Chains A and B, each alone.
Chain A
């Protein structure tokens, strides 16, 4: 009995105050393990380009998941992101192709629409005290429905600005390359990292997520923070939508169905508590990469069908939620 406590003591001391890092460290170990297993099993898996492809293929998911991180940190949830991505892609395609608007007008307009829709949902959630789940569900219906009313068919994009941006490859040393969308995504991650960890808004997000009542009694601007996170998520969804447009070069009302689930999964796997108050932007990046590696492995395996992705992601969710539960129980 005494020996166990003694042997556990240094570990407990080392972990004291750092428990919030455990899920993120778990995700990082998982990511490294998966890449190692992939490299051993599949020829040509371990290459710089495969890693860069993770960013290229998941650029839009990365941006959307970063926005979702803000919302989940405050203890909320945003179900509308997939639909807003689809609506943004649809608007880009429709305005540019069918109405001949210049892309440099359309893209800021789409970003503004995303921002304002998020702001509106945040305002309703805060001022009318309606559950985020229901409000963003309505937002999801609305955005998806608007997609359908714009066009039932897929609109493909042939505008040179979009095609050039989509095909642009930025060379890196060693014969590697990244796409423009991956650069944009990494840029968004960097901005989000600074905002969340080094600004007053970021601290307020954690405070509201930790305990809304306490934050309010401390005099923190709860209303502004709540609206900000939904506005950020709306903006990120619209930005993700623009990147998605670059990736698909088309607008279609069934684009990005279920993307909200992927984003939530990435955030949870990245170690953010769904109850709010604890988590990191970089954890979310790891979460997105884990999802990407799962897909890459399934592609490399060849014999596995795409639906295994969903099953594996579900299992990972289970493991990480259980992990959160165990850590949460120990803290109390």
Chain B
């Protein structure tokens, strides 16, 4: 086998390319990008535009997952951020003033950073399992968002605010540029400094990292703050794009999509290594999937079924024991599962146990 197929981003990229190409059958001008009134238009631009919030949330999630954690609360943070910004703007007499929007954005981002810090405090400070610690905010957060909006959908009429999610700058949607800047900054910070390595080290073994002098707790807390901020910006984009805030539905299930994007991108949920490029590709795959399903005329509700199948395929493909059991290639098989063992597929629960034990004890 040629070596580049072994690259860890090979399969995600192939999946994305295949998905994009499959659109050609249904919409021949899928790849065309047109210039209308000084803006670029086209399906590819749309995918980037609508995928922008997901890319941001996934980016924060990648860093959290790199340290071996998980953040379930990002969906709730997305709704709080949008709700807070729209509420602040709607309280002012002059909704279109730039000062008001800047204040609203600053307030939202400040609060979302605080929410992230709260998660970080619970995980790094109190040592609570990440999935449980962030569950608290996931449950309570949406209630808080509805409290802010008073259960209503707050609509705002503010052109500066509209720019964040629906505006254009230099022919491109503003949100794409914003995401590009955040991704580039994160990539530079983690890959051109030691930060990324430290994060991976903490994810590999937080205690060992602490012993060699890495401030694990601070780093872990920081990833949750970044995840909160990313979710905050994503919340601003989502609410700004529709000029309204819906505490109940904004960012619903985005945490699951984000985790999915991270996993598709090849970042292990166990922590210890991460790929920002992979995450961006993963998020684009999810967005392309939704767009494709819309364009080929299948009911959009089937997206969930397709997503479920994609999650399972990707997870199975990444699972070492699945590859060992199904493909049984010498390169993949752990020592205990080498040829000569009874076929695990043939024997269910009872008889397979001894082989199970052997295979899993060294792990």
A residues within 8 Å of B by Cβ?
A: 77, 124, 127-131, 133-135, 137-142, 144-146, 148-149, 152, 213, 216-217, 221-224, 227, 253, 261, 264-265, 268, 274-275, 305-311, 313-315, 317-318, 321-322, 325
Contacts and interface: CB of A to CB of B under 8 A. Distances in A.
A133 B131 contact: yes
Given A129-B320, A149-B305, A274 B129 contact: yes
A145 B344 CA distance: 32
Interface string B311-342: 11001100111100100000000000000000
B217 interface: no
Contacts of B247: 307
A274 B132 contact: yes
Contact of A148 (B128, B304, B316, B322): B304
B315 A265 contact: no
Contact of A227 (B303, B320, B349, B353): B349
Nearest to A148: B301
Contacts of A224: 349-350
B101 interface: no
Interface stretch (B2-10, B138-146, B222-230): B138-146
A223 B351 CA distance: 11
A325 B305 contact: no
B139 A139 contact: no
Contacts of B15: none
B212 interface: no
Interface in B271-300: 299
Interface stretch (B49-57, B105-113, B185-193, B355-363): B355-363
A305 B312 CA distance: 39
Given A141-B311, A310-B143, A317-B139, 7 more contacts: A128-B316, A129-B320, A138-B315, A142-B309, A145-B302, A149-B302, A224-B349
A308 B142 CA distance: 10
B352 interface: yes
13 contacts: A124-B316, A134-B311, A141-B307, A145-B302, A222-B353, A227-B349, A275-B129, A307-B147, A311-B144, A313-B139, A313-B140, A314-B140, A321-B128
Given A216-B360, A307-B151, A314 B299 contact: no
A144 B133 CA distance: 26
Tell me the interface secondary structure of chain A in the complex.
helix
A227 B350 CA distance: 12
Q: Which 6 A-B pairs have the closest CB atoms?
A: A314-B140, A310-B143, A145-B304, A148-B301, A145-B305, A142-B308
A137 B139 contact: no
Contact of B151 (A146, A221, A261, A305): A305
B231 interface: no
Contact of B126 (A77, A148, A322): A322
Contact of A138 (B138, B147, B308, B321): B308
B301 A149 contact: yes
Contacts of A124: 312, 316
Given A144-B304, A145-B303, A308 B143 contact: yes
A311 B140 contact: yes
Contact of B322 (A128, A221, A223, A274): A128
A220 B303 CA distance: 40
Contacts of B309: 142
Contact of A317 (B136, B151, B269, B307): B136
B343 interface: no
Nearest to A228: B349
A317 B306 CA distance: 33
Contacts of A321: 128, 132-133, 136
Contacts of B344: 127
B18 to A, nearest CB: 20
Given A148-B301, A307-B151, A314-B139, A131 B311 contact: no
Contacts of B315: 128, 130, 134-135, 138
Contacts of A325: 126-128
Nearest to B318: A130
A134 B321 contact: no
Contacts of A146: 305
Contact of A223 (B129, B311, B356): B356
Q: Pick the most buried of B136, B139, B319: most chain A CB atoms within 10 A of its CB.
A: B139
Contact of A145 (B131, B307, B316, B353): B307
A58 to B, nearest CB: 17
Contacts of A141: 256, 304-305, 307-308, 311
B263 interface: yes
B135 interface: yes
A232 B135 CA distance: 23
A49 B299 CA distance: 45
Nearest to B144: A311
Contacts of B319: 128-130
Contacts of A222: 353, 356
Nearest to B255: A137
A188 B110 CA distance: 47
Contacts of A315: 140
B101 to A, nearest CB: 27
Contacts of A309: 143
B92 to A, nearest CB: 25
B304 A77 contact: no
Contacts of A142: 304-305, 308-309
Contacts of B126: 322, 325
Contact of B146 (A149, A223, A305): A305
Given A144-B304, A310-B143, A137 B256 contact: yes
A304 to B, nearest CB: 10
Contacts of B151: 305-307
B172 to A, nearest CB: 32
Nearest to A142: B308
Q: Pick the most buried of B140, B146, B309: most chain A CB atoms within 10 A of its CB.
A: B140
Q: Pick the most buried of B70, B129, B132: most chain A CB atoms within 10 A of its CB.
A: B132
A131 B315 CA distance: 9
Contact of B312 (A138, A144, A310, A313): A138
